[in-house]
Amino acid sequence: MQPQTEFARSGELYIAYQVVGQGPLDLAFAPAYSSHLELQWEWPAYARFLHRLASFSRLLMFDRRGIGLSDPAPVPSTLEETMDDLRAVMDAVGSERAALFGWGEGGPMSALFAATYPERTTGVVLYASYAKGSWSPDYPWGATPEMQEVFLDILDRRWGRDVVAAGAVAPSISKDERFRQ
C-alpha cells in the first residue's frame, strides 16, 4: 500500500513528503537529484528497500523543490534551500531530531544539515555520495566542465524517457525494463 503524500510549506513553495513506519527513530531520506514519491513505490525492489528502512524507523521522505510532486522551482535548489525544505518537512511531522540518510546528491546537504543543526540530527549515513561533483586540482575524481556539459545535454534530451546512464549508476539492474521506466 502506498503512503499518503502530504505537503509542507517551505518559503513560498510546497514540498511533497511521505511518512512510512512507526519506529522509535526518525530517519529522513534525502534523495539524489531526482525522485518521485508516488512513482518510487511502483518498482518492487525499491519499495522493498523503503519498507525495510521503515521497519526500524519512522521514515520521512520528500521530493526536492522542482522535482517530483514538489512545487516547480525556476532554478535548481541550493544546499541551504534543500536544508530548509527538509526542516519544513521535519516540522510538519513533528520531528525534533532525525538521522539523515543522504543518497547521492542528498549526501552533501545531509552533512551540511548535521553541521548546521546538530541539535536536530542524531546521525548521518551517506550512500553513493561525494564531497562535491566538480573537478578541481585538489578533487581530481570530480566531473570536468566538459563531462558536466555532456551529462546535462543527455539529461535534457532524455528527461522523462529513460534512466540516464543506468549502466554506470546501477549496472546489475540496468537491463531491467521496469527499473529503466
- pLDDT (tens digit per residue) in 33-46: 789 999 999 988 89
Mean pLDDT within 82-89: 97
Give how many domains the chain has, as a whole number: 2
Task: Identify whether the C-beta of residue 82 lies closer than 8 Å to the C-beta of residue 102.
Answer: no
87 occurs within a structural domain? yes
Residue 19 is placed in which grid cell? Answer: 511518512
CATH classification of the domain holding 78: 3.40.50.1820
Domain that holds residue 170: 134-181
Q: CA geometry: angle at 77 spanning 129 and 34, to 5°?
A: 55
Long-range (24+ apart) CB contacts under 8 A made by 124-132 are 124/99, 124/100, 125/99, 125/100, 125/101, 126/102, 127/101, 127/102, 127/103, 128/32, 128/103, 128/104, 129/102, 129/103, 129/104, 129/105, 130/104, 132/108
1 occurs within a structural domain? no
Ramachandran bin of 75, using left for φ above 0, alpha for ψ from -120 to 50, beta for the remaining angles: beta
Rounded to the nearest integer, the mean pLDDT of the chain is 91
105-154 pLDDT, tens digit per residue, is 899 999 999 999 999 999 999 998 988 888 999 999 889 999 989 888 87
Residue 53 in this model has a pLDDT that exceeds 80:
yes
175 occurs within a structural domain? yes
Same domain assignment for residues 113 and 77: yes
How far apart, in whole angstroms, are the C-alpha atoms of residue 76 and residue 58?
28
User: What is the reported pLDDT for 164?
Assistant: 58
Same domain assignment for residues 105 and 181: no
Computed on alpha carbons and rounded to an integer, the radius of gyration of the chain in Å comes to 16
Mean pLDDT within 72-79: 91
Same domain assignment for residues 69 and 27: yes
Same domain assignment for residues 38 and 84: yes
Same domain assignment for residues 110 and 169: no
Same domain assignment for residues 97 and 174: no
Same domain assignment for residues 96 and 49: yes
